Amino acid sequence: MKGSMKNNLRAMGFSVPGGEVDALFDSWDSDKGGMLDLKELNECLAGAMKKAQKNRSAPNPSRDKAKEIRQKAQEAEEAANLSIRAMELEDELQKMIADMDKRADLRLGALLQARMVKPAAVVTSWGSSRGEHAGELSKADFRNAVIRLFKGLPPIKTRSEDHKATTVSTPPATERLGTRLSSQSAADESAEQAALAAEIDGVFDIFDADHGGYLDAEEALNMIKQLQLIGNKAATERRSKEYEVFTTRARANRMGMSVRQAAAQLDTMQNPMAC
């Protein structure tokens, strides 16, 4: 009966106007007897379920658009978080580089590694000591060789350099004037070289156990190997961090561009007259 149907719907939590319930009942009551038998009820419920399923499957532009907007909003949040992470990694990289630049042993080790210095040949080729220190590497020889390496020169002066030094003629007046004008820059360079020399001496002292200013062949070999090891480790860590920064920033940029393009398309759909 209609009254029973209304009561059952209310008990199930459905708030439906009584007139609509009556109209639904009448549409199901095919024989207009005011009662629904089990067969009529089953057929009507099956039809209602089929219609509901069809409505859910039917295209719904508003629903689809809302879903797309929610998806793009989520992507925008992911892009923002990725961009923040990229900035954090960039800050970490800058701090790593600054910390490495403060470490003379790391810079020196990276230089020795990059110039492919052979540890076993350092004493024999860099050392110039004679007498009781023959076969040893002095602090001065180490300093001079490393300064040359930093300048991009071979660690030991070549014969061609000696030949050029002996054949240089007195410069003309204009060149001497230029030399005087650049005296300030030369003084700055000299100060930088003095600071570099002090750093190199400090690294040497780390491995000079007795602080006598000389390393024997074994000590020199160990020093070069250790410096190259830590220099290579630092360079590897820096390259790894640089790659992480590059890939994260690239992903953030790609995702950000995709979100902006999608937002522009959605805006055009909402306002077809927009440029």
Please provide residue 215's backbone torsions phi and psi, each rounded to the nearest 5 degrees.
-120, 135
Confidence at residue 157, expressed as pLDDT on a 0 to 100 scale: 81
Q: Which ranges constitute the DSSP H helices of 29-158?
A: 38-57, 61-102, 104-114, 122-126, 139-150
Give me the residues of the chain with pLDDT under 70, please. Answer: 1-22, 24-38, 40-41, 44, 48, 52, 54-65, 161-184, 262-275
Residue type, 217: A
Query: What single DSSP character describes residue 155?
Result: S
Confidence at residue 178, expressed as pLDDT on a 0 to 100 scale: 52
User: Domain residues of the chain, as ranges?
Assistant: 18-52, 72-157+195-275
Residue type, 265: Q
- Residue 196 and residue 147 in contact, taking contact as beta carbons nearer than 8 Å: yes
Confidence at residue 274, expressed as pLDDT on a 0 to 100 scale: 41
Confidence at residue 28, expressed as pLDDT on a 0 to 100 scale: 60
For residue range 80-123, list pLDDT tens digits in order. Answer: 888 899 999 999 999 999 999 889 999 999 999 999 999 988 88
* Nearest C-alpha neighbor of 85 from the set 253, 263, 240: 253
At 99, list the tokens: 């910390």
Confidence at residue 50, expressed as pLDDT on a 0 to 100 scale: 73
At 274, list the tokens: 């927009």
Confidence at residue 124, expressed as pLDDT on a 0 to 100 scale: 84
Confidence at residue 37, expressed as pLDDT on a 0 to 100 scale: 66
Confidence at residue 166, expressed as pLDDT on a 0 to 100 scale: 54
Q: Beta partners for 215?
A: 137
> Degrees (nearest 5) of the Cα angle 66, 69, 72?
150
Question: Which residue is associated with the tokens 């490393």?
Answer: 146
| DSSP H or E stretch at residue 203 | helix 183-207
Q: What pTM did the predictor assign?
A: 0.59
Rg (C-alpha) for the chain, rounded Å, is 41
